[in-house]
Amino acid sequence: MLVGTKPPCAADGETDGSGVAPPIAPLFRNSTHVVTARVGELRAALPVAQRGRITMAVAVAEDSNGVRTVLVATSEPRSYLRPGVTLRPGETMVGGTAHAEANIVAHVQANNLLVLEIGATRPVCVPCQDLIDPTGAKILTPLQPRLRT
């Protein structure tokens, strides 16, 4: 599990409410770190009482020109972002009415993007895993276990 780890990264680590957005250039070097670090930040930004209720998901997607973007989705209605939860330059908020991860999958399919890696602030539920798996994206954060039948 990579979530919660803090690999040394010069562009990272100054995200403590200073309001200065670090560059997202590492996207092109280490998208895995971008996703896992951002998931950790978003989880930390959610009020403790809400962390069990709200899911936020982060994904790195690539268009047909190889241009990468960071997608952020929330399970909250109308893409509501709580105070303290902000998007960075270059990040795209993905709306929708389903789970955060499912909203990202719908967005990439509607926009003909390739989702490379995805993570969420809570364990990814089985229906979302089943949506994500056919996209080929790597799920970088914990999964809810499948029940044995």
Residue ranges in contact with Zn ion by CB under 5 A = 99, 125, 128
Report the C-alpha gap between 82 and 121 in whole angstroms: 14
Neighbours of 105 (CB within 10 A): 25
- The residue (of 36 and 75) whose beta carbon lies closer to Zn ion is 75
Task: Report in angstroms how near the CB of residue 128 gets to Zn ion at its nearest.
Answer: 3
Task: Report in angstroms how near the CB of residue 101 gets to Zn ion at its nearest.
Answer: 5
Task: Report in angstroms how near the CB of residue 88 gets to Zn ion at its nearest.
Answer: 24
Strand partners, 59: 71, 118
Report the C-alpha gap between 119 and 139 in whole angstroms: 6
- The residue (of 86 and 129) whose beta carbon lies closer to Zn ion is 129
Task: Report in angstroms how near the CB of residue 139 gets to Zn ion at its nearest.
Answer: 11
Strand partners, 93: 72
- The residue (of 22 and 123) whose beta carbon lies closer to Zn ion is 123
- The residue (of 29 and 53) whose beta carbon lies closer to Zn ion is 53
Helices (H), the chain: 31-45, 100-110, 126-132
Asked if 124 and 104 count as a contact pair (C-beta separation under 8 A), the reply is no
